[in-house]
Amino acid sequence: MNDEAIISLYWKRDSDAIAQTEAAYGPACRALAGRILRSREDAEECVNDSYYRLWDSIPPEKPQSLSAYLSRIVRNLCLDRLRELGAMKRGGADVTVALDELQNVCGSSDVESSLSARELGQAVDRFLRTQPQRSRNVFLRRYFYFETRAEIAHRYGISSAQVSVILSRVRKKLRAYLMKEGLL
């Protein structure tokens, strides 16, 4: 079933929407949650909670991409769970490293105090639309999906060193873009 049909089920308040969402996106959601939380039980709980959030948000929302919308919900719930568990320094080491790399771009230890998360997200989205597709995908795989450099390298058939170079260049360009936009 395609995204449009699943979203239509949510709008009709048909409980089959959740089953269809699970069938279409469950494995990807569990993989994302597992990468962030490193605990199968916590990951499963966050994925289930994400379906509840999705049910509550559609309607009124009508996302263009159900996959992206659901991934954002799963990611945010998992990051909240890490903070709640105090695990950002322990189990969430890969997540912490990725977030630290982005904080270095923003030049602040507290991104949310320097500008709203929404404003930053919109600026990063605008910036990424200007980047070549592979650079954009590598950036998203690292900083949104929290894949390791090795996983990204395997996915795109390049070396981990090439992934590091791509990420470094994109972060440098992002920093310059944010400065030009007056956000830093």
One-letter amino acid for residue 31 of the chain: A
Q: For residue range 123-144, what is the model confidence (pLDDT) as tens digits?
A: 888 999 999 999 999 999 998 8
**CB under 8 Å to 72, separation ≥6 — which residues?**
none
pTM equals 0.73
Of 136, 125, 123, 3, residue with least CA distance to 63? 3
Q: For residue range 4-63, what is the model confidence (pLDDT) as tens digits?
A: 999 999 999 999 999 999 999 999 999 999 988 888 999 999 999 999 999 999 999 999
- Which domains, from first to last, does the chain contain? 3-85 (1.10.1740.10), 93-180 (1.10.10)
